[in-house]
Chain A
Amino acid sequence: MATKSTSYDAIIVGGGHNGLVNGAYLARAGLKVLIIERRHVVGGAAITEELRPGFHFTSFSYALSLLRPDIVHELDLVKHGFMPILMPSSFAPMENGDYLLLGQDRDENIKEIMRHSPHDADAMDRYEYDVERVCQLVKPLLDEVPPNIFGKSAEDLAETAELVRHLRGADQKVIHDLVRMLTGSAADFLDDYFESDILKGYIASSGIIGTMVGPMSQGSGLVLLYHSMGEHDGHFGAWSFHKGGNGRFTQVLAQAAQSFGAEIMLNAPVSRVVTKEGRAVGVALEDGTELTARTVVSAVDPRRTFTELVEPRELPGDLVENIDRMKFQGTSAKVNFALDGAPRYPALGDRTDQYLGFVNIGPSMEYLERAFDDAKYGWYSQRPYIDCAIQSFVDPDMAPPGKHVMSCFVQYAPYHLKGSDWDTERERFADTVQGTLESFFPGFGDLVLQREVRTPLDIERTVGLTEGNIFAGEFFAPQMYFFRPAPGWSQYRTPIDGYYQCGSGTHPGGCVMGAPGKLASQQILRDLAADQAATG
């Protein structure tokens, strides 16, 4: 695809949601911006594909929650078609045929929880309140560049002091809960509140998403906290479907970026970042085209940012070491279905209103932990955790009338299989998933018109996420905040002047959040202003 020019103020490598957000902010600030995407479509892992006429699949990413509200407003996304649709309920089937169905009416929810455990009826409010207090404390950190706690400049010291001041202002219990979540397991945290297996399984599922941990592993608390911090529509922990799927959302972002003047180049794999005397001066495409820019931003993951787009030899050894040992270990897969009709849950007869939000196949903590057990020893779960989303029930644009598309996020599916490989196992793995669904929804298999399997290897191949890790680097305390992606390099800069990083491998991390893209743009603009001031 031809571009208007070969010279830009800023070139962004990678048209995923963070690349688009970054490019939009830079263009909005007046820079001449080019966003380069390897594939035929922008969006990275947030794409919607019509894989069968009339059936729109959210092939990878399938819901919104953590997207920062300031991005919606500052980039004027509503004008370009931003439309998150509320998920009014969550449904958690059980292995004995019963279920937990939670909706928008608190009192109804209490009654529903009481069915499973009278004890837990008042626990939900306490749990949600306590987690909300932690979110309230942590939220400002999502919207700021992490301080460089290793830096000695006056600015670094001031920023570190500000962080300490912020934390010191918090309530003792809130700080304690925060540390328990950041370092402990989801199981330990939930056991304090709940006794019901189904409730614990349902909540703990958010503690394992995308991560090589079980709910009883230390570290799952951090993932649980992270997934509680979305504030879709101002409600912590609320999730929505974007109209037309997350692919429509990234199209909205692309339109916003273009409205500020950013150009987008598709089908253009970048082979390397061109450097000259220790500074980035542009990029070279695989077809040999060279494009110049004073600022080059990598929106791809840290492994690619530091070891593929540039020569590791040009980087400090400790950074290369840290990136090499950064944990990716993707452990999630997608199996998406086109369905001929609504799945039937026997206990609910012909009802379908339980499908308006997530359908959580993770009926107990033990179920989840056993699913993890398989992964620990290098195999995919024989009874996997499945987060199903049948968006066509709330968004008729997704499938023809009466038909449905069902996105299934499946765990565990470790990138490295012991004694086999994903290309060999793909269909057997999908059969396992479909078999599990069949056990909850008898007759499910008869509804399947088409099945699309996205193994961690497919995720890596198609989207470019190393080892298929959906967060572009695992959520793991030593890889978060001022350690993300590596100690000393959490402020979106790199050791190469003019070369920046803005992908989900930077703070605050993955999910369709956009914060890395935005925060990186702020850093770039600050640096450009400082350069300009220095050179007069």
Chain B
Amino acid sequence: MITTTPFHERLDQLNETGLWGHWSGYLSATRYCSSAKHEYFAVRNSAGFFDTSPLYKYRIVGRDAERLLAGVMTRDVRQCRPGKAQYTVWCDDRGFVLEDGVVFRHSQDEFLLTAAEPNLGYFSDLAGRLDVSLEDVTDELGMLAVQGPRSRAILAKVVPGVEELGYFEHADAKIGTTPVTVSRTGYTGDLGFEIRVARDDALPVLDAVIAAGEGHGLRPFGEQALLMARIEAGLALIGVEFSSSRFAYTDHERVTPKELGFGWMLRGIDDETRPFIGRDAIRRELAERTSRWATVGLLLDWADYDRVYEAAGLVPPKDETPVEDEFMLYDDAGARIGYTTSQMYSPVLQRHIAIARVRPDLAVLGTRVNYELTINHEYQTIAAEVTRLPFFNPARKTA
């Protein structure tokens, strides 16, 4: 049966649309007002809050907790000191991505892992005889993302010390008398924080944040706005940019960390002291340069886009609603050289953008490709250019 998050009572009052999606068994607002784009602008221009409670959360505790995670996660969790967090993927033996999540290290022996899909069985099976306990705490916690340029100023009013939190750091704190954990993390590519709080304390914490945001343009945002922000931020989404190798029927559906644009996670892969699942395959992939794809950003040529639509007698559509689907990419000779996974019209960039996978030799800044779509029921191509991800990367995100 569908259930609700600890913040739901208040969010239900705030949701003017009656639109709710189902996310991991919880109601999750599609949007709160008639305009998802307005909610998106709150994130880019002032601040917004998003209920991220449905994410699976696992508490991993014990003398061997680090050993377990170091042996599974692609990134080296040993480098993650208490008070820090790491975004990482984990892979199968063949070096294909299974899933992604964020590891928060609370102490030498205690971690919290977030994941999009249930994983307790998977990690428990791998724990074997290690001295580690794993517990699903999803239902015990509320998690509230507060994102946008004003997020720090707003939270500073209720969370002393939040100004000192660096990017991907977290700390225990109090909102009023309520213990919370605040992290400098999020899924919008902007300055932002996430607050974790015990289920029963969730509502007063949300109310305190809302009160602190008064006059700062703070408003709730739903999934539509989140997905807009995440594409501009170049952040991968399971089921869109990749699917779990465990459930893939063919290798076409599978993708390696390197192919997914996570080459930066593979620093230290030559460290002999840390075997982890998939390491050998990934090493081979890197040594033999067998990666099939590289993940890049694409900027569609705005003038070509308008020209092609106008020549077809149409008003060029510029819609910020994300399209999470594949569109083919060709070179000038008509050879297929890649595909996109997500695309949208970006309000901050004022142009169409797409997260794409291209042949590795073409993953060079400025490479021209042709993006295929249908106009008046016929295939047409629009010129596009390879760029770096993220598309939008304000200095405030990490400053």
Cα separation A35 to B216 with both chains bound (whole Å):
37
Whether the pair B348, A83 counts as a contact (CB closer than 8 A) is yes
Cα separation A236 to B314 with both chains bound (whole Å):
13
| Residue numbers in B under 8 Å from A243 (CB-CB) | 45
Q: When the two chains form the complex, which single residue of B37, B317, B319, B347 contacts A104, counting CB atoms closer than 8 Å?
A: B37
| Residue numbers in A under 8 Å from B37 (CB-CB) | 86, 88, 104
B167 sits at the interface (CB 8 A): no
Give chain A nearest CB distance to B25 CB in angstroms.
Answer: 28
Whether the pair A78, B35 counts as a contact (CB closer than 8 A) is no
Whether the pair B350, A73 counts as a contact (CB closer than 8 A) is yes
A513 sits at the interface (CB 8 A): no
| A156-164, A396-404, A428-436 - interface stretch | A396-404
Complex interface residues of chain A between 52 and 109 (CB less than 8 A to chain B): 69-70, 72-73, 78, 82-86, 88-89, 103-105, 108
Cα separation A400 to B37 with both chains bound (whole Å):
24
Answer whether A394 and B45 are a contact pair too, CB < 8 Å, given A88-B34, A400-B215: yes
Per-residue CB contact flags for chain A residues 388-410 toward chain B (1 = under 8 Å, else 0) read: 00000111100011110000000
| Residue numbers in A under 8 Å from B45 (CB-CB) | 83, 85, 243, 394-395
Per-residue CB contact flags for chain B residues 288-324 toward chain A (1 = under 8 Å, else 0) read: 0000000000000011001000000001111110000
| Residue numbers in B under 8 Å from A403 (CB-CB) | 215
Whether the pair B46, A396 counts as a contact (CB closer than 8 A) is yes
Cα separation A401 to B41 with both chains bound (whole Å):
18
| Residue numbers in A under 8 Å from B350 (CB-CB) | 69, 72-73, 78, 82, 84, 233
| Residue numbers in B under 8 Å from A89 (CB-CB) | 34-35
Q: When the two chains form the complex, which single residue of B17, B150, B315, B345 contacts A236, counting CB atoms closer than 8 Å?
A: B315
Whether the pair A70, B303 counts as a contact (CB closer than 8 A) is yes
Cα separation A235 to B37 with both chains bound (whole Å):
13
Nearest residue (CB) in A for B301 is: A73
Cα separation A136 to B313 with both chains bound (whole Å):
9
B217 sits at the interface (CB 8 A): yes
A536 sits at the interface (CB 8 A): no
Q: When the two chains form the complex, which single residue of B315, B317, B349 contacts A136, counting CB atoms closer than 8 Å?
A: B315
Answer whether A234 and B345 are a contact pair too, CB < 8 Å, given A70-B303, A395-B217: yes
Cα separation A243 to B41 with both chains bound (whole Å):
11
Q: When the two chains form the complex, which single residue of A82, A103, A108, A396 contacts B215, counting CB atoms closer than 8 Å?
A: A396
Cα separation A115 to B34 with both chains bound (whole Å):
18
Per-residue CB contact flags for chain B residues 195-233 toward chain A (1 = under 8 Å, else 0) read: 000000000000000000011110000000000000000
B235 sits at the interface (CB 8 A): no
Whether the pair B216, A401 counts as a contact (CB closer than 8 A) is yes
Cα separation A132 to B34 with both chains bound (whole Å):
23
Answer whether A85 and B41 are a contact pair too, CB < 8 Å, given A73-B351, A233-B318: yes
B33 sits at the interface (CB 8 A): yes
| Residue numbers in A under 8 Å from B41 (CB-CB) | 85-86, 394
Answer whether A132 and B315 are a contact pair too, CB < 8 Å, given A69-B302, A88-B33, A108-B34: yes
A353 sits at the interface (CB 8 A): yes
B388 sits at the interface (CB 8 A): no
| Residue numbers in B under 8 Å from A78 (CB-CB) | 348-350
Answer whether A103 and B34 are a contact pair too, CB < 8 Å, given A236-B315, A394-B41, A401-B215: yes
| Residue numbers in A under 8 Å from B215 (CB-CB) | 396, 400-403
Give chain B nearest CB distance to A16 CB in angstroms.
Answer: 22
| Residue numbers in A under 8 Å from B17 (CB-CB) | 105
B274 sits at the interface (CB 8 A): no
Give chain B nearest CB distance to A232 CB in angstroms.
Answer: 9
| Residue numbers in A under 8 Å from B351 (CB-CB) | 73
| Residue numbers in B under 8 Å from A104 (CB-CB) | 34-35, 37-38
| Residue numbers in A under 8 Å from B150 (CB-CB) | 396
Answer whether A395 and B46 are a contact pair too, CB < 8 Å, given A234-B317, A401-B215, A402-B214: yes
A225 sits at the interface (CB 8 A): no
A270 sits at the interface (CB 8 A): no
| Residue numbers in A under 8 Å from B38 (CB-CB) | 86, 88, 104, 356, 394
Cα separation A402 to B315 with both chains bound (whole Å):
40
Give chain B nearest CB distance to A425 CB in angstroms.
Answer: 36
Nearest residue (CB) in A for B215 is: A401
Cα separation A402 to B211 with both chains bound (whole Å):
12
Give chain A nearest CB distance to B300 CB in angstroms.
Answer: 11
Nearest residue (CB) in B for A77 is: B350
| Residue numbers in B under 8 Å from A395 (CB-CB) | 45-46, 217
Cα separation A93 to B177 with both chains bound (whole Å):
44
| Residue numbers in B under 8 Å from A233 (CB-CB) | 318, 320, 345, 347, 350
Give chain A nearest CB distance to B304 CB in angstroms.
Answer: 12
Nearest residue (CB) in B for A353 is: B33
Q: When the two chains form the complex, which single residue of B217, B303, B317 contacts A396, counting CB atoms closer than 8 Å?
A: B217
Complex interface residues of chain A between 155 and 194 (CB less than 8 A to chain B): none
Complex interface residues of chain A between 232 and 257 (CB less than 8 A to chain B): 233-236, 243
| Residue numbers in B under 8 Å from A136 (CB-CB) | 315
Nearest residue (CB) in A for B150 is: A396
Cα separation A236 to B35 with both chains bound (whole Å):
17
Give chain B nearest CB distance to A9 CB in angstroms.
Answer: 27
| Residue numbers in A under 8 Å from B302 (CB-CB) | 69-70, 73
Give chain B nearest CB distance to A135 CB in angstroms.
Answer: 8
Cα separation A402 to B347 with both chains bound (whole Å):
27
Give chain B nearest CB distance to A438 CB in angstroms.
Answer: 24
Cα separation A103 to B32 with both chains bound (whole Å):
13
| Residue numbers in B under 8 Å from A70 (CB-CB) | 302-303
| Residue numbers in A under 8 Å from B217 (CB-CB) | 393-396
Cα separation A236 to B317 with both chains bound (whole Å):
11
Cα separation A395 to B216 with both chains bound (whole Å):
8
Answer whether A401 and B315 are a contact pair too, CB < 8 Å, given A85-B45, A394-B45: no
Cα separation A72 to B318 with both chains bound (whole Å):
15
Give chain B nearest CB distance to A109 CB in angstroms.
Answer: 9
Whether the pair A88, B214 counts as a contact (CB closer than 8 A) is no
| Residue numbers in A under 8 Å from B216 (CB-CB) | 396, 401
Cα separation A401 to B217 with both chains bound (whole Å):
9
Whether the pair A105, B35 counts as a contact (CB closer than 8 A) is yes
Cα separation A66 to B316 with both chains bound (whole Å):
16
A to B CB contacts below 8 Å, 10 in the list: A78-B350, A86-B38, A105-B34, A136-B315, A233-B345, A234-B315, A234-B316, A234-B317, A234-B318, A401-B214
- For the complex of A and B, list the 7 residue pairs with the smallest distance between their C-beta atoms, beginning with the closest: A401-B215, A234-B318, A104-B35, A105-B34, A88-B38, A88-B35, A103-B34
Chain B residues engaging chain A, CB cutoff 8 angstroms: 17, 33-35, 37-38, 41, 44-46, 150, 214-217, 302-303, 306, 315-320, 345, 347-351
Other A-B pairs beyond A105-B34, A394-B45, 8, CB < 8 Å: A73-B303, A86-B38, A86-B41, A103-B35, A104-B35, A233-B320, A235-B318, A402-B215
Chain A residues engaging chain B, CB cutoff 8 angstroms: 69-70, 72-73, 78, 82-86, 88-89, 103-105, 108, 132, 136, 233-236, 243, 353, 356, 393-396, 400-403
